[in-house]
Structure 1
Amino acid sequence: MTKPHKDIFGKPVGHPVENWTGCALPPRSDMIGAHVIVSPLDIARDARQLFEANGKASDGSRFTYLPTGPFADFDAYKAWLVGMTANDDPMLHTIIDKPTNMAVGVAAFMRMDQNNGVVEIGNINYAPALSKTIGGTEAMYLMMKRAFDELGYRRYEWKCDDQNAPSRAAATRYGFTYEGTFRNHMVYKGRNRDTAWFSITDKEWPEIKAAFEAWLAAENFDAGGLQRASLSTLMSAHRS
């Protein structure tokens, strides 16, 4: 390991990052898995399918912890997508179920800090057809793989409302490390948000990647599609 830098008193002040030049923005190209395709959002192709897929949860619960929504009609939802895709950040992606070729969720690369190699995964909204499926997990793996393996990012962030228990559980399941909670961080939808922060670093990624790939392997599922080993179990095994 490279020796840490030291101050004038000889005290270590951090390990050097050698030959660092920053990171490129993610390319606008598909990430293709066995179960899903994660594709830069195309409003003409995806908007109607996403709106209808979200409509399967008619109580609007899919938008409880998102800053916008639920949307009263398709036009309102489409207008939101237009705004979300107007710039490179956030870079919203559609998650397409391969067997049906239907759009069933969205997720974004956002707050991309190219100089320091930091990117956040956010604006995650899975329709009922994607929730708790192999494809839903594979989509997260594909986006991590792009950030770390293809682009060389050093830090991958997940942030959520501290009261969003499913999101906190998902972050842990996906291998993120909880870093703390920013109290009174935001006001949205007329209420306070304390924000829980999670991250994965490039040094942790190889073990996390191995756990994802072990979980996604065909032999990890029986004939009925039930997992033999959970992702949480495999994360623990690969990171021990």
Structure 2
Amino acid sequence: MDHRLNQYGQPIGLFVDLPLPRPHPPHQALEGRYATLEPLSVDHADGFFNAFSDPSGWTYLGEETPFDDRQHARDWTAGKAASRDPQFYTVLVQGRAVGFLSLLRINPQAASIEVGFIHFSPALQGTRAATEVQFLLMRHVFEDLGYRRYEWKCDALNAPSRRAALRLGFSFEGIFRQALVYKGRNRDTAWYSILDGEWPALRQGFEIWLKPENFDAQGQQRQSLSALIASAKP
């Protein structure tokens, strides 16, 4: 761990040359080549109801449960649209609402922020759009807002989320045991992060991966994101 010594010979953290606090994320649209992130609104409720037909997708989402009907979807969406921490975004692909995610635990004073409450429909999972929206939020946080730390946390038993974090370039930091109780059960929480100094190499890997020429006529990737990120790191 990098450090310096104070006048008493004790190790202390390096000086942070960054104006603090950083701005709270503006709730605005982020445009990509394959998808758009828009502030979540009640207008997206019917799209969510149609997209999230598989109840297993809700297993690790806090206290949330599958929608019983369209009114349940509208009521749920209205509540999330009003929240500013978490601050929710809808994933739109060709105008259809196919997923959502949020920025949360927003700490402008520490320049730290988390991406979470992620729910991608089967139609979005594994697509270029699914990766691109993660890239759009990362770039927004590090470049537009100047944050130092970008976090990902999940139930330690949520294997797909843990694989996704590593694929996207997050570093594993450990398990917080018995960190939460939700849905009447224990949650050990797996922690991951990306730091601002790591972002330039990650950005390079994402940009190469997202180029149309990285995919063949059948839509299969020519180079994996993990390999591109690894090769871009110093």
* TM value normalised by structure 2: 0.95
- Cα pair distance change 1:160/1:4, threshold 3 Å: closer
Where do 1:176-195 residues align within 5 Å? 176-195=170-189
Quote the residue 1:69 is aligned against: 65
**Pairing 1:132–2:131 present:** no
Distance 1:223 1:180 in 2: 40
Shift of 1:75: 1.8
2:155 is the counterpart of 1:161: yes
CA deviation map 1:118-154 (0-9, x unaligned):
1100110001110000000000000001000100010
Q: 1:52 aligns with which of 50, 53, 71?
A: 50
CA shift for structure 1 position 78: 2.1
Question: Which aligned pairs between 1:188-207 and structure 2 lie closer than 5 A?
Answer: 188-207=182-201
CA distance in 2, matches of 1:85, 1:120: 18
Q: What residue number does 2:26 align with?
A: 27
CA distance in 1, matches of 2:18, 2:35: 35
TM-superposition CA deviations, 1:79-102 (whole Å, max 9, x none):
2222222231111000000xx310
Query: 1:93 maps to what in 2?
Result: 89
Identity %: 43
The aligned amino acid for 1:15 is L
> Residue 73 of structure 1: CA displacement?
1.6
Mapped to 1, the partners of 2:142 and 2:18 lie a distance apart of: 17
Letter matched to residue 7 of structure 1:
N
Q: How far off is 1:64 after superposition? A: 0.8
Letter in 2 for 1:62: G
Instruction: Determine the C-alpha separation between the residues in 2 that align with 1:19 and 1:227.
Output: 38
Q: 2: CA distance between counterparts of 1:86 and 1:221?
A: 39
Residues 5/197 of structure 1: CA separation in 2 closer, same or farther (3 Å cut)? same
Counterpart-to-counterpart distance in 2, 1:86 and 1:29:
14
- The amino acid across from 2:15 in the alignment is P
Provide runs of 4+ in structure 1 moved above 6 Å.
Answer: none
Q: 2-side partners of 1:102 and 1:83: how far apart?
A: 20
Instruction: State the Cα RMSD in Å.
Output: 1.4
In 1, Cα distance between the equivalents of 2:137 and 2:52?
22
Task: Give SS of 1:237's match.
Answer: helix
Does 1:235 find its partner at 2:229? yes
Shift of 1:48: 0.5
- Structure 1 gaps of 5+ residues are none
CA shift, 1:12, in A, is 2.9
Deviates more, 1:217-226 or 1:81-90: 81-90
Q: Give the Cα separation in 1 of the matches to 2:6 and 2:171.
A: 30
User: What is the aligned counterpart of 1:79 among 70, 75, 78?
Assistant: 75
Query: In structure 2, what is the Cα distance between the partners aligned to 1:185 and 1:77?
Result: 29
| AA partner of residue 10 (structure 1) | G
Q: Classify 1:19/1:235 alpha carbon distance in 2 versus 1 (closer, same or farther; 3 Å).
A: closer
